[in-house]
Amino acid sequence: MWPGMALSIEIEEVLFSHKSKYQQIDIFQTKTSGKMLALDGIIQLTEADEFAYHEMLVHTPMFAHPNPQNILVIGGGDGGVLREAARHDAVKKIDFCEIDEEVIKAAKKYLPFTACGFDDPRVKIHIADGNEFLTQHQAVYDVIIVDSTDPIGPGITLFEKPFYKNLKKGLRTNGLIATQGESIFLHKECIMNLVRMTRELFPVQEYANILVPTYPGGHIGICLGSLGPEIKEPSRQIPKKILEQLKYYTPEVHKASFVLPGFAEKMLGSG
């Protein structure tokens, strides 16, 4: 994911290494970034900076929506997205669709700081492909969050148009989607494609950028689409109880994450 470049992270110990039906799963103890999960050799999270990605991927769409009650999370087998979604009192139900049960099992054993998301009683786990799951669940959700791997291996379908069409069909009136949006410096073609698909399907489309040191280029994007609510600002006051628990997301960061560098603005402006 870093063409012509590499990121070095000093490893102290390999805690878990296993080839599942879908992918190679590795969990490491690093020297300075805590525990780290890699799938097919690609970093998915480190204990030191996962909060930035998980808070922004969840709270940006959840606070843009006026009253998110029914949530679907696709991917995200580590549980970090669930942990953040469960902070919202309005939420009644969180369907969680992950293709690889082995990732969930490994996270529960080695990554308790994200896997605590599975403890919430509103979470219902479905082991299935996200696209197939959506074909059976239409007009159900207020917010759908896609915490996918990159467009490699089982994640490929989650970057294609039929999936985006199904995401739209999965939403209720005023629903929103937020999907993992790669790096504006390194994955231009992929991002332009995501933005183009979202723009064709949703009346409101936006792209946010977040700082995450261990993702390619030190940042990652979120591609968002909405059937109604504006996305660039929270639609309501952020409860003090939630803000006190967060380390990255604030209402100001919500707005600022949509201000992109000039080249990215130009790139996405043309769709």
> Which distant-in-sequence residues (6+ apart) come within 8 Å of 111 by Cβ?
27, 35, 37, 45, 47, 78, 79
Shortest Å, Cβ 119 to ligand SAM: 18
Tell me whether residue 67 or residue 136 sits nearer to ligand SAM (CB atom).
Answer: 136
Look up tokens 């919202």; give the residue: 88
Residue 267: CB atoms within 10 A of its CB come to 17
- For residues 70 and 52, is the Cβ–Cβ distance under 8 A? no
Tokens of 204: 């409101």
Shortest Å, Cβ 236 to ligand SAM: 26
Report strand pairing: 42-46 vs 35-39: antiparallel
Number of residues that bind ligand SAM (CB under 6 A): 25
Provide the Cα torsion 80, 82, 87, 88; round to 10°. Answer: 140
Shortest Å, Cβ 153 to ligand SAM: 7
44 scored as a contact of ligand SAM (CB under 6 A) = yes
Residue of 61, 79, 117, 154 interacting with ligand SAM (CB under 6 A): 154
CA distance 52 to 80: 11
CA distance 251 to 234: 7
Residue of 155, 175, 216, 234 interacting with ligand SAM (CB under 6 A): 155
- For residues 18 and 106, is the Cβ–Cβ distance under 8 A? yes
Estimate to the nearest angstrom the gap between the alpha carbon of 79 and the chain centroid: 11
111 scored as a contact of ligand SAM (CB under 6 A) = no
Tell me whether residue 41 or residue 271 sits nearer to ligand SAM (CB atom).
Answer: 41
174 scored as a contact of ligand SAM (CB under 6 A) = no
Shortest Å, Cβ 144 to ligand SAM: 12
Look up tokens 């790139």; give the residue: 267
Shortest Å, Cβ 16 to ligand SAM: 13
Cα 255-179-215 angle, rounded to 5 deg: 80
Site for ligand SAM in 199-238 (CB under 6 A): none
Tell me whether residue 158 or residue 176 sits nearer to ligand SAM (CB atom).
Answer: 158
Please confirm, yes or no, whether 147 is among the known catalytic residues.
yes
Q: Return the amino acid letter for 65.
A: H
The active-site residue, picked from 78, 95, 142, 147, is: 147
64 scored as a contact of ligand SAM (CB under 6 A) = no
Residue of 97, 143, 167, 208 interacting with ligand SAM (CB under 6 A): 97
Tell me whether residue 51 or residue 202 sits nearer to ligand SAM (CB atom).
Answer: 51
How is residue 160 annotated by DSSP? S
Shortest Å, Cβ 222 to ligand SAM: 10
Tokens of 4: 């012509």
Tell me whether residue 131 or residue 198 sits nearer to ligand SAM (CB atom).
Answer: 131
Binding site for ligand SAM (CB under 6 A): 22, 39, 44-45, 53, 74-78, 97-100, 103, 129-130, 147-149, 154-155, 157-158, 180
